[in-house]
Amino acid sequence: MFFVISGIILSCKSNPSEQVLLEGLQESVEIVRDQWGINHIYAANEHDLFFAQGYAAAKDRLFQFEIWRRQATGTVAEIQGERELKRDIGTRLFKYRGDLTREFNHYHDRGQEIITAYTDGVNAYIEEALENPDSLPIEFKMLNILPQKWTPEVVISRHQGLLGNIGAELEVGMAVDKIGVDAVKDLYWFHPKDPILEMDPAINTSLLSEEILELYFAYRRPVRFLPEDINSTYRRAGTTAFFEEEQVDVYDSLSIGSNNWVLSESMTADGQTLMANDPHRTIAVPSLRYMTHLVAPGWNVIGGGEPEIPGISIGHNEHGAWGLTVFRT
């Protein structure tokens, strides 16, 4: 495909118009940042829409993108040393190795094209930032690192996946091995049905231990920074920890969960149907959500999603709204 040099026009209240020339766009794109900091992206075609989404998201969240890339590629130990070696081994162990085209197109009929355009946009901003390293977010200077390029497979990394109850499965299996099925059913609350807990004869129960999931949990845990990771120029004297581990009481995991609420037009003041979506994602800084508005032929959608993933996972268009919830059984 032949790409022409075209421009992204960025505008907001404080900066009415700024034009950026980028190689990779097919036509001009306009990005309007509103008073809440949400980007409204107007493109003439689908490729440019997602290229611009990647560019804008990377511009807003570059350090978050870099940490995601390192978690996805198993390269956290490059900046944190041997203590993160098991994380990187786990990441590479669980890396998707199937047909990438088929995997990309599982998410959308044109998934490969959309994800590729998105990562091209991310890389366009990374190239721009590397031309002026002084403009990089302070976190890069604190860690003495530079952002690196993305590939499309980084987008589909499972390290941030909303996954299932593999830890509970192992725990139940070990309990069945020690005290038997009936005793486990007396001690555990299984819902909504009575599960079959008899172990498959092919499983050597003597091998069941928490160590089985060591690499899995290592690659799934959040990245934490310690004082020794930080450039001494930015390190406060006497600092003993860069974060505090919060001590929490043991809680019933079944007492919390995502939820959706829908009100029909007969229940609302303006006669319109309303939907509220509460997915119970972790509250973090920077946020795990990134709000944006995407407009192009065939697209007019606004809402939130993971900043490192193209599209909108929770939002609405002119036809309806959607959300997501996660629950466990």
Q: Which domain CATH number covers 305?
A: 1.10.439.10
**Rounded mean pLDDT, 258-279:** 89
More confident position, 275 or 242? 275
User: 74: which 2 tokens?
Assistant: 């198993």
Distance, CA of 258 to CA of 281 (rounded, Å): 8
pLDDT digit string (tens) for 198-248? 999 999 998 999 999 999 999 988 899 998 899 888 887 665 554 555 554
Q: Based on the fold, state whether residues 195 and 280 are members of the same structural domain.
A: no
pLDDT digit string (tens) for 168-193? 889 999 999 999 999 999 998 887 67
pLDDT value of residue 191: 75
Distance, CA of 304 to CA of 302 (rounded, Å): 7
pLDDT digit string (tens) for 306-315? 899 999 999 9
pLDDT value of residue 314: 93
Asked if pLDDT for residue 119 goes beyond 50, the answer is yes
pLDDT value of residue 16: 63
Residue 188's Cβ-count burial label (10 Å; 0-12, 13-18, 19+) is middle
**Rounded mean pLDDT, 147-173:** 87
Asked if pLDDT for residue 255 goes beyond 70, the answer is no
Quick check: 258 and 278 in contact, CB under 8 A?
yes
Task: Tell whether 92 is covered by a domain.
Answer: yes
Q: Based on the fold, state whether residues 50 and 185 are members of the same structural domain.
A: no
Task: Tell whether 48 is covered by a domain.
Answer: yes
- Beta strands 29-33 and 5-11: pairing type? parallel
pLDDT value of residue 160: 75
Asked if pLDDT for residue 252 goes beyond 70, the answer is no
Q: Based on the fold, state whether residues 80 and 38 are members of the same structural domain.
A: yes
Quick check: 116 and 100 in contact, CB under 8 A?
no
Distance, CA of 60 to CA of 173 (rounded, Å): 45
Task: Tell whether 214 is covered by a domain.
Answer: no
Distance, CA of 179 to CA of 97 (rounded, Å): 39
Asked if pLDDT for residue 251 goes beyond 80, the answer is no
What is the extent of the structural domain holding 92?
5-157+239-314
Quick check: 324 and 258 in contact, CB under 8 A?
yes
**Rounded mean pLDDT, 136-152:** 95
Q: Based on the fold, state whether residues 63 and 123 are members of the same structural domain.
A: yes
Number of neighbouring beta carbons within 10 Å of residue 40: 15
Q: Based on the fold, state whether residues 77 and 150 are members of the same structural domain.
A: yes
pLDDT digit string (tens) for 10-53? 656 556 667 888 889 999 999 999 999 999 999 999 999 999 99
**Rounded mean pLDDT, 261-284:** 88
Asked if pLDDT for residue 163 goes beyond 60, the answer is yes
Quick check: 324 and 277 in contact, CB under 8 A?
yes
- The model's confidence at residue 328, banded by pLDDT at 50, 70 and 90, is low
Q: Based on the fold, state whether residues 145 and 265 are members of the same structural domain.
A: yes
- Beta strands 274-278 and 39-42: pairing type? unpaired
Query: CA torsion, points 101, 312, 122, 85, in degrees to nearest 10?
Result: -70
Q: Based on the fold, state whether residues 45 and 91 are members of the same structural domain.
A: yes
pLDDT digit string (tens) for 81-118? 999 999 999 999 998 889 999 999 999 999 999 999 99
Identify the residue whose tokens are 């047909």: 99
Q: Based on the fold, state whether residues 277 and 297 are members of the same structural domain.
A: yes
Q: Based on the fold, state whether residues 264 and 139 are members of the same structural domain.
A: yes
Average pLDDT, the chain: 87
Q: Based on the fold, state whether residues 203 and 258 are members of the same structural domain.
A: no
Distance, CA of 202 to CA of 4 (rounded, Å): 59
- The model's confidence at residue 162, banded by pLDDT at 50, 70 and 90, is low
More confident position, 261 or 281? 261
Number of neighbouring beta carbons within 10 Å of residue 202: 5
Distance, CA of 93 to CA of 214 (rounded, Å): 12
- The model's confidence at residue 7, banded by pLDDT at 50, 70 and 90, is low
Q: How many domains does the chain have?
A: 2
